[in-house]
Amino acid sequence: MKSYLKTFTKGIIKENPVFFSLLGMCPTLALSNSAWNAVGLGVATMFVLTCSNMIISLLKNIIPSQVRIPCFITIIAGFTTFTSLLLKALLPDLYNELGIFLSLIAVNCIIFARAEIFAKKNNVFNSALDGLGTGLGFALALFIMGTIREILGAGTWFGLTLPELSEPMVIFIMPAGGFFALGFVIAAVNKFMKKRPHNISCDNCPHKGMCRRGEGD
Amino acid sequence: MSKFIVEPSPHIRGNNTTDKIMTRVLIALVPALVMSVYIFGIRALYLSIVCVGSCVIFEMLYRRLIKKETEIDPSPAVTGLLLAFCLPVTLPYYMAVIGCFIAIVVVKQLFGGLGQNFANPAITARIVLTLSFTAQMTYWAEPFHYRTGQEALDTVSSATSHGADALSGATPLALAEAGEQVPGLWDLFMGFHGGSFGETSGLALIIGFIFLVLTKVIRSVTPLAFVGTVALGALLAPGESVILHVFSGGLLIGAIFMATDYATTPVSIAGKFVFGVGCGLITLVIRFFSDMPEGVSFAILIMNILTFYIDKITFPKPFGMVRESFVFFKKNKEGKKE
């Protein structure tokens, strides 16, 4: 029982796909400009992730490992199409808001990562729990980002107008503000989780080859 | 000592300290402050005080938060004053405080504090404010509006409700883009036109420039290259006025005070020249071809980001050494050995 719980919860906080693995950055930054969009995409992704995890786990002995990527993508794309048609019928407004990013769930790296890391090695129930947990973590991250950006950038929350303390800072619903907000949220989460940053030395520096500091040791 | 580390300059230390340099920059900004109070009224002074005060307070609070010793240092005051000079005089005070937070905490301290920031704090804060509060940041007061009996109003919303005819102005560049009459040479030079309150007076800024060059705080190469490029571009472009392009907008304050920031601009003379020309070209491109009337702030920010690479290309050859060929020219390495 405890291991099931662990499988479920680790994706939400400890291995949160956005805040710790830094996966799925593209939809995170593009669609967290309002809480409603963020939650919509998060839930859609969670649904696709859970279903595809289950199916991949069921088919893990049939899929040859040489062609597993095409097989995975076929399964994931199938569920994505299903979700997108469902949303188009039930929530056309949200469907229009999400636009291309709904179809791009098919190539979301979180879903691939979970299929590759977890679903192809574990049983159906565990895979479903893992998909649900990771999807929930993704939705939660999007919700936090969407809340911060919508409140600061538009002065609303889920479309409700909040009491106006100041002019909304429009930059927060622009892409640049998304990067700002993501950086601050990750910093806050790391602080909260007492995660130490990686030791930054000259070896890890992207400018290592060009910089002259430390030459001649 | 086998450990030999090559660092950027300075290698030979004079008796200049950060305090001295920053104090001189503050002194150089005083004429512009006096002119702006004369042109735009006492609110310019208040806004400057708010910006300087909040920058100093943010710097102290942040250093206390991360448990670094607090040095009493005029550099946040310089940042605050420069940021204030880039704001329209009618901007609400709290927006200016937000700008100071971005300048000091986000741009400067998060990257390591004084001398470590990769972009000019004042410029970046101005850009963030412009993108965030576009209406308030592009609301230009008419010069001498305070003499017409109307107070410098606190917010734009109250300004519009008071009948904005005495207050609403436009920068000369915006007027030119709209094809309207621009102020004459004298008004442009003295600063009697709409704009951010510290940037309008060419005279005051040039006095500051001469002071800084004479006290050797800055080298004249970046401002001259920057302004020269813009002037040349305006001269060559059909139907553009050189005087207008040099004396309006943020060109002078940007070229003199922001493109000469030590931490964010190249070290060598050649690098400074490249930096100035690059800034000028980007400014011209934005002024001529984009729908924004002004591009100095974006030009400086973009060149700030490129500074590392400019420094790399223009690294001076140490005496007695063969210049290390840059990556692009690696093929010629054999040929060079002869």
Q: Return the higher-pLDDT residue of B54 and B161.
A: B54
Distance from CA of B301 to the nearest CA of A (A): 14
pLDDT of residue B154: 40
The ipTM is 0.76
Output the pLDDT for position B163.
Answer: 36
Candidates B94, B132, B136, B308, partner chain A, best to mutate (most A CBs within 10 A): B132
More confident: A201 or B215: B215
Nearest CA in chain B to A170: B132
pLDDT digits (tens, 9 = 90+) for A20-29: 888 888 888 8
> In this predicted model, what pLDDT tens digit does every residue of A48-93 receive, in sequence order?
999 999 999 999 888 888 898 899 999 999 999 999 999 999 999 8
CATH (one of 1.10.575, 1.10.3470, 1.10.10, 1.10.3430) for B18-314:
1.10.3430
Given a cut of 50, is residue B230 above it in pLDDT?
Answer: yes
Q: What is the pLDDT of residues B27-77, one digit of tens each?
A: 999 999 998 888 888 888 999 999 999 999 999 898 888 887 766 678 889
Q: Where are the domains of chain B?
A: 18-314
**For the residues B17-31, what does the mean pLDDT come to?**
88
Quote the pLDDT of residue B158.
40
pLDDT value for A51: 93
**A215/B6 CB distance under 8 A:** yes
Given a cut of 50, whether residue A217 has pLDDT beyond it is: no
* Yes or no, beta carbons of A216 and B312 under 8 Å apart: no
Which pLDDT score is estimated for A20?
82
Mean pLDDT of A160-180: 82
pLDDT higher at B278 or A33:
B278
Cα separation of B259 and B234, whole Å? 20
Chain B residues closer than 8 Å to A212 by CB: 6, 315
Verify whether the Cβ–Cβ distance B94 to A171 is below 8 Å. no
- pLDDT single digits (tens) B102-142: 999 989 888 887 878 888 999 999 999 988 888 888 777 77
Does A169 sit within 8 Å of B6, measured CB to CB? no
Q: Which of A157-161, A210-214, B61-65 has the highest mean pLDDT?
A: B61-65
- pLDDT confidence band for B224 (50 / 70 / 90): very high
pLDDT at position B276 over 80: yes
pLDDT of residue B222: 92
Q: Which residue has the tokens 């472009």?
A: B237
